Amino acid sequence: MVTALSGDQPPVVMSHKDLNFIHVRQGGLYWVASTKTDASPFTIIEFLNRLAALTKDYCGSLCEKSVRMNFALIYELLDEMVDYGYIQTTSTDILKNFIQTEAVTSKPFSLFDLSNVGLFGAETQQSKVAPSAAATRPIMSHRSEQGGKNEIFVDVVERISVVIGSNGVLMKADVEGEIRVKCYLPTCSEMRIGLNEEFSIGKSQLRGYGMAVRVDECSFHQAVKLDEFDTYRILKVCPSQGEQTLMQYQLSDELPCAPPFRLFPTVEKDYGNRLLIFLKLRCDLPPKSTALNVSVTVPVPKSSLSLSQELSSPDQTADLQLKNKAILWSIPRFPGGAQLSALFKVEVPGLSSASLLEVGPVSMSFELPKHTCTGLQIRFLRLSPTHPGLSQRWVRYVTHSDSYTIRI
C-alpha cells in the first residue's frame, strides 16, 4: 500500500481488509503497528514514537544498520513493552531492570561520518559543537568494554522558518525550539536548569533588565517541576536515562535579531540562449559565529541544459540538477559577517522573457552551531546529589533551517 501511493508521505493511518495500519517515520525507517480493533490512533502514534526513542537510547543510534545488528535487543524491548497486544510500559527506569541484552555498535563514532545524524553529537563537522562522542552511545554501555562516562547532555535546538520578499523585507518568521536532555547518569535525584531571567512568555509580560527573550507559547514535559519557574526561571526534573524533551516553545511572526542570511540576486538575459544569474550572499551572524552545511537551491527554467559557474572560493561547489531543474550551490563553511558570490551561466534553448519568470524563489538550508534565534540561553545546570569530578555536563546550542525562502 505504501509503495503504490504516488505521494512522498503516505497517510499515517491506513486500512486494508479489516486491519488498521498506523505508522510513523523516524531515522529513515517505518515504525508500524497493526490492529483489528478501533484503538485510539493517537495512543498508538505516541507509543511508536516512544518505541523509536527507546530504540535509539538502547542501540545508540537510529538507522537500518543498528536495527539489524540489535534485533535481539529490540525484540526484548518489545517483549517487555507489549504483552498480548496491550501496552505495559514505556518507562526507561522500569525497563532497565529487565533488559539484559547488550547493544552491538558498528564502529567508533566519527565526527566526519554524517551518515547517521541525530540531535545529539553528530550534526556538525566541528568538534567544538559536538562535545563528546558519547552522545551517540547506548545508555547501557557502562556494562560493556566501552566504559561509559557519567555524562549529561543538554541541547537547545531551534528550527527557523523564514520568507523574505523580493524587496528584502521579512514577510514571515517562525521559530520552533526545544530543550532536550540525554542522560547517562545512573542516579540523579534532581537536575536544575536555569534559563535567562529575562525569559518571558507572550507579549504582556517583560522581565528583567537585559534584552528581553520572548516566546509566544511554551509547553513542558510532565516530569518537569515548575514551582521555581515563574519567579526564577528554573526548571527542575529528575531525568531518566536516555533522551527526553523537557520543554518546547514557539515564536511567531517576528525575529529578535536580523535573519541569518541576506541575498542580493541579479537575473538577466545574455547573448544567444544564455541566462545569467548573479548571487551575492551575506551572512549576518556575529563575526565569531559560523554557519555550516549551507546549501542554496535556485530553480531555473525547465528547458535548461547545462551550467557553467564562477564561485568566490574553492571550497564551494555548484551543479545543475536536471531532474529538479534547479542549481544547487553548496557552501560547507560560512563565517559570520562574510559575503560570498556566485555567477551562474545557464544554457536555455528558446530563452524568452517568460523564461526569466521561472527563476526562483531561492530556498536555503543550513546549520548554525552555538546560536539561537530567540536568544534563549541556559544560565546554569546543576545536579544533586553532586559528585565532584565524576559527572560531566555539556550544553549545546544549534539552529537548523526548517524553511528559508527568498523571493527574487
Chain segment 252-292, per-residue pLDDT in tens: 988 888 899 999 999 998 888 899 999 999 999 999 999 99
Whether residue 141 is contained in a domain is answered as no
Predicted confidence (pLDDT) at residue 193 exceeds the cutoff of 70: yes
**Pair 270, 321 in one domain:** yes
B/e letters for 90-112, b = 16+ CB within 10 Å, e = fewer, are bebeebbeebeebbbbeeebeee
Single out the residue of 168, 142, 137, 140 nearest to residue 66, CA to CA: 137
Domain boundary pick from 55, 73, 96: 96
Whether residue 138 is contained in a domain is answered as no
Whether residue 268 is contained in a domain is answered as yes
Domain boundary pick from 79, 96, 113: 96
Q: Domain limits at 340? A: 261-369
- Please tell me the distance from the alpha carbon of residue 95 to that of residue 11, in angstroms, as a whole number: 31
- Please tell me the distance from the alpha carbon of residue 342 to that of residue 42, in angstroms, as a whole number: 48
Whether residue 202 is contained in a domain is answered as yes
pLDDT tens figures, 63-122: 898 899 999 999 999 999 999 889 999 888 788 888 888 888 765 444 444 443 444 443
State the burial class of residue 162 (Cβ atoms within 10 Å of its Cβ: 0-12, 13-18, 19+). Answer: buried
Distance from chain centroid for Cα 242: 18
CATH number (domain holding residue 70):
3.30.450.60
Instruction: Dump strand ranges (E) for 188-238.
Output: 190-195, 199-201, 213-215, 217-220, 234-237
CATH number (domain holding residue 174):
2.60.40.1170
CA distances from 246 to 54, 382, 403 (A): 16, 15, 24
Whole-number pLDDT of residue 141:
57
Whole-number pLDDT of residue 131:
41
**Pair 382, 249 in one domain:** yes
Is residue 283 within 8 A of residue 366, CB to CB? The reply is no
Whole-number pLDDT of residue 7:
65
Q: How many domains does the chain have?
A: 3
Q: What is the pTM of this model?
A: 0.77
- Please tell me the distance from the alpha carbon of residue 289 to that of residue 366, in angstroms, as a whole number: 13
Whether residue 114 is contained in a domain is answered as no
Whether residue 280 is contained in a domain is answered as yes
**Pair 400, 325 in one domain:** no
**Pair 189, 209 in one domain:** yes
Whether residue 81 is contained in a domain is answered as yes
3-state secondary structure of 214: strand
Whole-number pLDDT of residue 365:
96
pLDDT tens figures, 120-143: 443 443 333 444 444 567 776 544
Whether residue 206 is contained in a domain is answered as yes
**Pair 249, 165 in one domain:** yes
pLDDT tens figures, 58-69: 888 888 988 999
Looking at residue 182, its amino acid is K
pLDDT tens figures, 378-387: 999 998 876 5
Predicted confidence (pLDDT) at residue 395 exceeds the cutoff of 60: yes
**Pair 159, 253 in one domain:** yes
User: Which of 257-266, 289-298, 314-323, 353-362 bottoms out in mean pLDDT, i.e. has the lowest?
Assistant: 353-362
For residues 113, 117, 118, 119, the Cα torsion angle rounded to the nearest 10 degrees is 90
Report the percentage of the chain scoring pLDDT > 90. Answer: 52
**Pair 224, 252 in one domain:** yes
Predicted confidence (pLDDT) at residue 148 exceeds the cutoff of 70: no
**Pair 245, 375 in one domain:** yes
**Pair 72, 194 in one domain:** no
**Pair 233, 376 in one domain:** yes
**Pair 348, 266 in one domain:** yes
- Please tell me the distance from the alpha carbon of residue 117 to that of residue 122, in angstroms, as a whole number: 6
3-state secondary structure of 323: coil
**Pair 179, 276 in one domain:** no
Domain boundary pick from 49, 80, 96: 96
Band of pLDDT at residue 397, cut at 50, 70 and 90: very high
Give one DSSP letter per residue of 236-280, joined into a string: EE-PPSEEEEEEEEEEES--SS--SEEEEEEEEE-STTEEEEEEE
